[in-house]
Amino acid sequence: MIGLLQNLIDALSLGSIYALTALGIGLLFGILRLINFAHGDFITIGAYALIVPSADVTARMLIGDFNIALMLPAIALIVIVAALLTDALVFRPLRRSSPPTLMIGSFAVSYIIQNAVLMMYGSRPKAINLWSDANTQVIIGDLRVPMLQVITLVVTLALMAGLSVFLKKSRYGVQMRAAAEDFRMAQYLGVRGNFVIGLAFAISGILASAVALLYVTQSGSLSHTMGVPLALFAFVAVVIGGMGSLVGAVVGGFLVGFIVTMLQAYLPPDLRAFRDAFAFAFVILVLLVRPAGLVPARNTVERV
């Protein structure tokens, strides 16, 4: 029983990371029909921004040593700038291109970012110690909950609530939702297309920087490909949840976290190496039953 609870808490924490990443991908997909595989590399940028650029094996903190009140906005700002630059240099020239073209563009961005990180920081993974205090455990009865998992969940819920309030209550949020549903019609009503897209990139940058900090604290290491598996699993989460639906992206993120954690815990040891294969088999199963995802987006269903 305690074992199961412990696993559930792990699943929630991993699911939070996937859900936040999936939200960043889902937001851009909703507005731009862009499947942004470079989102994982935005996370990498946020993580590497913590340390001094050098090829040394041991990481020396740069922004990572700042006071937290300064560090959070600094990391967020760097990732936002990277995201906006990506839009300006790559996706704006491709504005009238088809979704597959945009996706291939995002692969290009992904490789460029990875190689830039490689050149500046070297190829070897680096150990990094961010907020080691957060690894203390809270003991509730027989249950040991790492503080970090609690923080992860709280931060995730707070960001989701913030995003939800922004989308529902602010004029820019309403414009973004309108643009996600019918971009051209929104433009006909005076919604500035490039502005709304830039806003979506900026928000996905904020989400990516939050994931970067949580993930680095958890894993304690940096590598130039660290964002790739995150983006892949988050993309799977977006697909399971229903392309274009933000609620779906969150549901999908938590579900993927749950599946991966449970497989890791309960698969026979011999099969654990194939955990991801089982996870993706489950995804195929979900899509066979619900091809439009668990929470289909209204507008994409109509478009078919």
Partner 1 sequence: MKPLLEIDQIHVRYGDMTALRGVSITVAESEVVCVIGPNGAGKSTTLAAVAGGVKPFRGEVRLNGTAITGRAPERIAALGVSLVPEGRHIFGSLTVDENLAIGGYMRNDKAGVAADRARLLDLLPRLAERLHYPAGRLSGGEQQMLAIARAVMTRPRLLLVDEPSLGLAPKIVDQIYEILLDLRRRDGLTLLINEQSSNRILNHADRIHVLRAGVIQLEGRAEDLRDGDAIRHAYFGFGHQAPAAPAALEAAP
Where does this chain bind partner 1 (CB under 8 A)?
A: 171, 174-175, 177-178, 181-182, 184-193, 298-299
Task: Tell me whether residue 146 or residue 296 sits nearer to partner 1 (CB atom).
Answer: 296
Spatial contact of 166 and 152, defined as CB atoms under 8 Å apart: no
Minimum separation from the CB atom of position 32 to partner 1 (A): 16
292: exposed, middle or buried (C-beta count within 10 Å: 0-12, 13-18, 19+)?
middle
76: left (phi over 0), alpha (psi -120 to 50) or beta: alpha
Task: Tell me whether residue 124 or residue 168 sits nearer to partner 1 (CB atom).
Answer: 168
* E strand residue ranges, 200-280: 221-222
169: exposed, middle or buried (C-beta count within 10 Å: 0-12, 13-18, 19+)?
exposed
220: left (phi over 0), alpha (psi -120 to 50) or beta: left
Task: Tell me whether residue 166 or residue 278 sits nearer to partner 1 (CB atom).
Answer: 166
Which tokens sit at 243? 């392309």
Minimum separation from the CB atom of position 95 to partner 1 (A): 10
Minimum separation from the CB atom of position 229 to partner 1 (A): 32
Task: Tell me whether residue 188 or residue 289 sits nearer to partner 1 (CB atom).
Answer: 188
Which tokens sit at 186? 């929104």
Minimum separation from the CB atom of position 235 to partner 1 (A): 23
Task: Tell me whether residue 139 or residue 169 sits nearer to partner 1 (CB atom).
Answer: 169
Minimum separation from the CB atom of position 295 to partner 1 (A): 12
